Amino acid sequence: MTHRRQRLVALVLVGACAALAACSDDSSSTVAGEVVAGRPSLEIIGDFGFVLIPTGRIDVVVGEAQTGDVTPDEARDDATHQAPEGGSWIPVHIAHDPFGHMGISVGLTGGSPQPAQVALVVDGKTTNLGAPYRVVGDEGTADSGLDNVWVAVDERPDQIDSVRVAVTYDGLTQTVNPKTGAREAGAAEPLYVKQAQEYQAPCAQGGIETGGVELELACTIGPAQRTPYLPGAGWAAEDHAWLVLGAAVSVSRATADATAYDVVSMQPALTVDGSTPLPPDGRFGEVRRDPQRVSGTWAFDVAAEGAVSVGVEVDLRLRKSDDADPGPGTRRATVRQTVELAGELAGESG
């Protein structure tokens, strides 16, 4: 009986000790890299930064790190979240402004947005925060619900040296340090420079080769604009840009050896500095044809700065207006013209 009583007492003591240990264990189950959605009404005060992408501007506010709990008043799930053991929480506000400082005009992006991702980089450790918007169909974006978040890190506030925000769009990641304003934009750097005006001008009347056929011809080059990004083509290579260039050629009258000819067809071809344009993709490189007129918009891979030489060539097929007139019934003529565009006039930002 005595041994049984001693065994029961021992079991009670062990159970009590275990219960006390459980009650006194305040270790956190949160691990670094966890992200807790914050309440949309929460106002995060801290360092502001922004990143420009083809779909607009990503604004971020990074608050001070804290070791205290994220309370039910601060968390969207109405729960209490402890900081990681030996770590802290960093509050972050994220907003997408589709009309904020449009670095690339809608005419160039063509309403073809790509998904984007936002991440927090703390002393080299990256935590993905999610998408700042949703892509709707082929042409639009909508709110993704990402706004305020709490990011768990494994350092205490006084141990954190660097906090950066990274935004990735179509394979290019930019980073910004909201505290210092330091930014690494890579190929997107031209987005942060004042956008140049588009340029448009008529071809010079002199220097047009017509293959011995007299033509009443009008030629316009432009609008022309450099851009670091094009849908489909992506980001331009280092020290390069995409030159988006429009052109239109019309012929109202053709005469050869005093015989009048009608224009049957016109086939244009453009080069820039001797290079051919990007292949047609449904937006660029397609030729619009009207009676006696052709026009289109082409995209070229060019140097990021400096003047460019635009070569215009139009192949004309002509038919004699009156069969009774002398001369062959059909003729072919090729119109050639070279137009120089100064760097700042070709859409170079500066």
DSSP for 247-315 reads EEEEEEEEEETTEEEEEEEEEEEEEETTBPPPPP-SSSSPEEEETTEEEEEEEEEEESSS-EEEEEEEE
Residues 250, 109 share a domain: no
Q: How far apart are the first and last CA of the chain?
A: 97
Tally of structural domains, the chain:
2
Q: Are 58 and 7 in contact (CB under 8 A)?
A: no
Residues 34, 140 share a domain: yes
> What is the C-alpha separation between 121 and 176, in angstroms, rounded?
10
Whether the predicted pLDDT of 196 surpasses 90: no
Q: Encoding tokens for residue 194?
A: 């004042």
Q: Helix, strand, or coil here: 118?
A: strand
Higher-scoring residue by pLDDT: 83, 139: 83
Q: Helix, strand, or coil here: 81?
A: strand
Residues 115, 234 share a domain: no
Q: How far is CA 56 from CA 50, 53, 106, 196, in A?
A: 10, 5, 10, 17
In a domain, 130, yes or no: yes
pLDDT at 183: 95
Q: What angle do CA 41, 45, 46 make, to 5 degrees?
A: 145
* Whole-number average pLDDT of the chain: 85
Residues 322, 206 share a domain: yes
Residues 105, 61 share a domain: yes
In a domain, 8, yes or no: no
Residues 341, 257 share a domain: yes
pLDDT at 204: 59
Confidence bin at 291 (pLDDT 50/70/90): confident
Confidence bin at 24 (pLDDT 50/70/90): very low
What global pTM score does this model have?
0.81
Higher-scoring residue by pLDDT: 105, 26: 105
Residues 219, 89 share a domain: no
Whether the predicted pLDDT of 170 surpasses 60: yes
CATH number at residue 239: 2.60.40
Confidence bin at 86 (pLDDT 50/70/90): very high
Q: Are 50 and 57 in contact (CB under 8 A)?
A: yes
Peptide bond into 291 cis (omega under 30): no
Residues 205, 296 share a domain: yes
> What is the C-alpha separation between 337 and 339, in angstroms, rounded?
7
In a domain, 69, yes or no: yes
Residues 128, 65 share a domain: yes
The most confident of the ranges 30-39, 95-104, 254-263 is 30-39
pLDDT over 70 percentage in the chain: 81
Q: Are 213 and 318 in contact (CB under 8 A)?
A: yes
Confidence bin at 181 (pLDDT 50/70/90): very high
Long-range Cβ pairs for the range 43-46 (8 Å, 24+): 44/91, 44/92, 44/93, 44/148, 46/91, 46/178
Confidence bin at 201 (pLDDT 50/70/90): low
How many CB atoms lie under 10 A from the CB of residue 237? Answer: 11
Higher-scoring residue by pLDDT: 345, 241: 241
Closest CA to 304 of 235, 256, 212, 206: 235
Host domain of residue 261? 199-346
Residues 122, 240 share a domain: no
Closest CA to 308 of 336, 342, 277: 342
Confidence bin at 12 (pLDDT 50/70/90): very low
229-230 and 234-235 beta bridge pairing:
antiparallel
Which string of b and e fits 132-160 if b means at least 16 CB within 10 Å?
bbebeeeeebeebebbbbbbbbbbeeeeb
- Per residue in 209-249, pLDDT (tens digit) is 677 788 888 888 888 888 899 988 999 999 999 999 999 99
Residues 149, 228 share a domain: no
Confidence bin at 195 (pLDDT 50/70/90): low
